[in-house]
Amino acid sequence: MKAFFTILIADRNRNVRELLRRELAADGYQAQTAGHAGEIAERLASGPPVDLVILDDDIAGADCAAMVRKIRTLARTLPVIVHGHGVEEAGEALSEKFTIFVKKSEDLTRLKAAVAEVLRHFQADGNAVRAFPDRAGSGRG
Q: Which domain holds residue 15?
A: 6-125
| 131 assigned to some structural domain | no
18-35 pLDDT tens trace = 999 999 999 999 999 999
| 130 assigned to some structural domain | no
pTM of the model: 0.83
80-126 pLDDT tens trace = 999 988 666 656 666 666 888 898 999 999 999 999 999 988 766 55
Do 13 and 36 touch, CB atoms closer than 8 A? no
| 26 assigned to some structural domain | yes
Half-sphere exposure of 13 (CA within 13 A, CB side): 10
| 103 assigned to some structural domain | yes
| 17 assigned to some structural domain | yes
**What total of structural domains would you count in the chain?**
1
Identify the H or E element spanning 84.
Answer: strand 80-84
CATH number at residue 75: 3.40.50.2300
52-89 pLDDT tens trace = 999 998 889 888 888 988 998 898 889 999 998 866 66
CA–CA distance, 135 with 99 (Å, rounded to integer) = 21
Closest C-alpha to 117, from 132, 102, 95: 102
| 136 assigned to some structural domain | no
Dihedral over alpha carbons 42, 74, 115, 1 (to 10 degrees): -110
